[in-house]
Structure 1
Amino acid sequence: MIRGASDTDSMRSRRNILGIQVLVATRRDAILAIDEHFSTSETPLVTFLNANVSNIAAKDPSLKRALDRSLVLNDGIGIGLSSRLLYHSDFPDNLQGTDFVPQYLKETGRIFRIFALGGIPGIAERALEVLKAIAPQHQYVGSHHGFFDAGDPAELYSIIRASGADFILVGMGTPYQEKWAEKFSTTFTGVPIICVGGLFDFLSKHRPRAPLWVRKLRCEWVFRLAVEPRRLWRRYLFGNVIFIARLAKAYVRGGRVSGDRQETM
């Protein structure tokens, strides 16, 4: 069980993907799991695991700790491949954050006062306008760009608290967003946070999204690489090779696993 999760949450099935416990759920069940996690966890933090996040966490203990303290959802073809190899079964749905987070906000049974943190100036604010149209039941109480003094967070904390937010979307890229979210959640307990990666850029149209058919094939990374090769070539070309090598090593060392594991502590 992830630390701080409730007894109900601990009964949900998880799969160990290269050392990270990942929830096994359909989209609908993931929404219910997040609501439960936010209601009962001491660290109500939700993160996503993809190949890049997995690679970074393997070398960054502080990111690994943040993931261990959160409810982790599967994101992308690499994690699906890992599940098929190690557990003989893919995850029920690809819970890719850019599509899933807006769906969560639309369908959750909770009502939030939402603050968005991340991106260049103006991007988070524009993204919140889009989310208002998708999930109008919530209040959208403030935003802040992702360029601030991480060593002196008092001013940013004060802005967030003054907004009256009880839910935060953090989109600053891995590992910065996860580390910030864990630090904030341990300072201000009980405030739910979801790490959303590039969601603000896509919602605001600052960066283009892949066509729907590409996303259904779980090949959005190919589209992103084609659009931004100079920024992303190392992550996808080298990173994917590294991830596959790590997966192969884990398979050889640990053998295949049959069925899902109920992880408890």
Structure 2
Amino acid sequence: MRADLEDVGSSPSPSIGAGPAPGPARLTIAGIAVENAMAERIVDRLERAIATGSMPGALPGPLLRVAFLNAHCVNVSRKDEAYRAALGECTVLADGIGVDLAARMLHGAPFVANLNGTDFVPLFLKTVGRPLRVALVGGAPGIAERAAAALAAAQPRHAFAAVSDGFFGEAGRERVLADLQTGGFDVVLVAMGVPAQELFLTRHLDARHGRVAMGVGALFDFLAGEVSRAPPVIRRLRLEWVWRLMQEPGRLWRRYVLGNPSFVAGILADRFRMREE
């Protein structure tokens, strides 16, 4: 059953809305520069990146890559130098209560908005001022097609194309890249999980394939109805990770039961080092 787009694309938290963003433009979490911005500012940045290459006679600018950083991503980045380097080439958005806690501990205030991909991507597609061609790459076989259909039903002014699932391997990579290059896409959504999607964005995608590329994690699964979103009250309490753990304990228990204490310990160590410097 297809997910309800009202659940996938709208957060009960007002922090994803528009408005001025006080404080520094970026906050550093575990050595990673993360945008401290309201959704409106990021949408405007993406829209400008898309528009720049669309002007008559204009050469396409560099591909704008977007990644979302949550507590699990921070844990992965501490062990995976290639992933960490890939994040350095992306516009990184704050995702979830974990990085908010880190911001409070390290900088004295949380991020001004929770820009998780599950809410931000549909919000971007809803508010962007022009029709777009959007490619979907990733997920299990058949999931990208169902996600594209769900997005098309919610946002019919855009054109969505499921280019490939996430299991094309090295043998199929050139085919996927060729399809992206000939598709004339404005936006490429990549759902391969961390760190594979960020490595794909930075190692293989460039301005020939689109103008904006985002690593979107489990978004396709939510859109396709494979995984249900937490009820609004749980999202409002910033406890969606508990809901996901209850849904997929076998797959996610290491990420949350072991990963969350590891994340907090790492941030405490970062805080201690900052005080020593």
Shift of residue 151, structure 1, vs aligned partner = 6.0
Distance between the aligned counterparts of 1:113 and 1:201, measured in 2? 21
Matched, 1:35 2:55: no
Q: What's 2:235 paired with?
A: 215
Among 194, 198, 202, which residue is 1:178 paired with?
Answer: 198
* Residue type at the aligned position of 2:144: A
User: In structure 1, how many angstroms separate the alpha carbons of the residues matched to 2:166 and 2:205?
Assistant: 17
Q: CA deviation at 1:232?
A: 0.3
Residue 17 (structure 1) aligned with residue 37 (structure 2): no
Separation in structure 2 between the aligned mates of residue 186 and residue 173 of structure 1, nearest angstrom: 20
Residues in 1 aligned to 2:173 and 2:26: alpha-carbon distance in whole angstroms: 34
Deviations 1:5-41 (A, max 9, x none): xxxxxxx710001111000111222212333455676
**Counterpart position of 2:105:** 85
Amino acid at match of 1:198: A
Q: In structure 2, do the counterparts of structure 1 residues 163 and 222 end up closer, same or farther at CA, with 3 Å as the change threshold?
A: same
Q: Equivalent residue of 1:82, what SS?
A: helix
Taking the TM superposition and a 5 Å limit, the aligned residue runs for 1:157-236 are 157-186=177-206, 188=208, 191-236=211-256
User: How big is each residue's C-alpha offset from its partner over 1:99-139, in whole Å with a ceiling of 9 and x where there is no partner?
Assistant: 11100111123432111011111111111111113322211
1:6 corresponding residue in structure 2: none
Aligned equivalent of 2:274, options 232, 254, 262: 254
More moved, 45-54 vs 109-118? 109-118
Gaps of 5+ in 2: 1-23, 53-60
CA distance in 2, matches of 1:251, 1:166: 40
Of 46-55 and 108-117, deviating more is: 108-117
Structure 1 position 190, deviation (Å): 5.5
User: TM-score, normalised to structure 2's length?
Assistant: 0.83
Kindly indicate whether residue 125 of structure 2 is the aligned counterpart of residue 105 of structure 1.
yes
Deviations 1:75-109 (A, max 9, x none): 00100001111121111111111011100111123
Matches of 1:38 and 1:184, distance apart in 2? 19
Q: By how many angstroms is 1:226 displaced? A: 0.7
SS in 1 for 2:272: helix
SS of residue matched to 2:170: coil
Over the matched positions of the two proteins, sequence identity in percent amounts to 39
Equivalent of 1:26, from 19, 26, 38? 38
**Secondary structure of the residue that 2:151 maps to in structure 1?**
helix
Equivalent residue for 2:17? Answer: none
* Aligned residue-pair number: 246
Deviations 1:199-244 (A, max 9, x none): 0000110111111111121111101101111100001111111110
* Structure 1 gap ranges (5+): 1-11, 258-265
Q: 3-state SS of the aligned residue for 1:103? A: helix
Q: Distance in 1 between matches of 2:91 and 2:85?
A: 12
Question: Which residue in the other structure is 1:116 paired with?
Answer: 136
Q: Determine the structure 1 residue equivalent to 2:67.
A: 47
Residue number in structure 1 paired with 2:176: 156
The equivalent residue for 1:3 is none
Please give the alpha-carbon distance, in whole angstroms, between the structure 2 residues aligned to 1:150 and 1:173. 17
Larger mean CA deviation between 138-147 and 59-68 belongs to 138-147
User: CA–CA distance in 1 between the matches of 2:150 and 2:74?
Assistant: 30
Task: Please list every run of at least 4 consecutive aligned residues from structure 1 whose deviation after the TM superposition is greater than 6 angstroms.
Answer: none
Distance 1:189 1:65 in 2: 21
Q: Is the 8 A contact 1:46 1:71 kept in 2?
A: yes
SS in 2 for 1:255: helix
